[in-house]
Chain A
Amino acid sequence: MMKPIFTAEAVHKSFNDPKNGVSLRALGGLSLEIRQGEFVSIIGPSGSGKTTLLYLLAGFLRPDSGKLLYRGEEVRGPSPERTVIFQEYGLFPWKTAAGNVEFPLKARCMPAAARRAEALKYISMVHLDGFADKYPHQLSGGMKQRVGIARALACDPKVVLMDEPFAALDNITRELLQEEILRLWSGLGKTFVLVTHHLEEAIFMSRRIILMSSRPGRVKEVVDIDLPEPRTADIKTHPRFVELKSRLTRSLREEVEKSIAAGIEPELVKDKGVIRVSR
Chain B
Amino acid sequence: MKGLISVILIIVSWQAASMLGWLNPYLLPPPSKVLYAFSDEAAGGMLFVHLAASLKRVLSGLSLAFIAAVPLGVLAASSAAIRAYLLPVLEMLRPIPPIAWIPLAILWFGIKGSGASAFITFIAAFFPLFLHTFSGVRHIEEIHLNAARTLGAGRKMLLLDVALPSALPFIVTGLRVSLGFAWMSVIAAELMAATSGLGYMIEMNRSMMNIPNVMCGMITIGATGYIMNDAILRLERRFSWKPERQEE
Contact = CB atoms under 8 A, between A and B. Distances in A.
A107 B242 contact: no
A208 interface: no
A135 B152 contact: no
Contacts of A86: 143, 146-147
A92 B151 CA distance: 12
B152 A155 contact: yes
B241 A135 contact: yes
Given A94-B165, A106-B157, A155 B151 contact: yes
A117 B59 CA distance: 42
Contact size class for B?
Answer: 20 to 34
B114 interface: no
B151 A80 contact: yes
A60 B147 CA distance: 10
B150 A84 contact: yes
Interface residues of A, number: 32
Interface string B139-177: 000111111111111100100011001101000000000
Given A86-B143, A94-B241, A80 B165 contact: no
A82 B151 CA distance: 9
Contact of A80 (B144, B150, B242, B243): B150
Interface stretch (A3-11, A248-256, A271-279): A271-279
Contact of B142 (A94, A107, A276): A276
Main secondary structure on B side of the interface with A: helix
A29 interface: no
A95 B143 CA distance: 15
Q: Which of A84, A90, A106, A152 has the most chain B CB atoms inside 10 A of its CB?
A: A90
Contacts of A183: none
Nearest to B77: A279
Given A93-B242, A94-B241, A106 B161 contact: yes
Interface string A137-159: 10000000000000110010000
A160 to B, nearest CB: 10
Given A107-B153, A107-B154, A274 B142 contact: yes
Contacts of A106: 157, 161
A137 B145 CA distance: 19
A152 B161 CA distance: 17
Contacts of B142: 274, 276-277
B105 to A, nearest CB: 39
A60 B143 CA distance: 11
B146 A277 contact: yes
B13 to A, nearest CB: 46
Contact of A79 (B147, B152, B165, B243): B152
A92 B144 contact: yes
Q: Which of B152, B153, B166 has the most chain A CB atoms inside 10 A of its CB?
A: B152
Interface in A90-122: 90-95, 103-104, 106-108
A66 interface: no
A58 interface: yes
8 closest Cβ contacts across the A-B interface?
A: A80-B152, A94-B241, A107-B152, A90-B147, A78-B149, A137-B243, A94-B165, A104-B151
19 contacts: A78-B146, A78-B149, A79-B150, A82-B150, A84-B150, A86-B143, A90-B143, A90-B146, A92-B144, A92-B166, A94-B165, A103-B151, A103-B161, A106-B161, A107-B151, A107-B152, A107-B154, A155-B152, A274-B142
Interface of A: 58-60, 77-80, 82-84, 86, 88, 90-95, 103-104, 106-108, 135, 137, 151-152, 155, 274, 276-277, 279
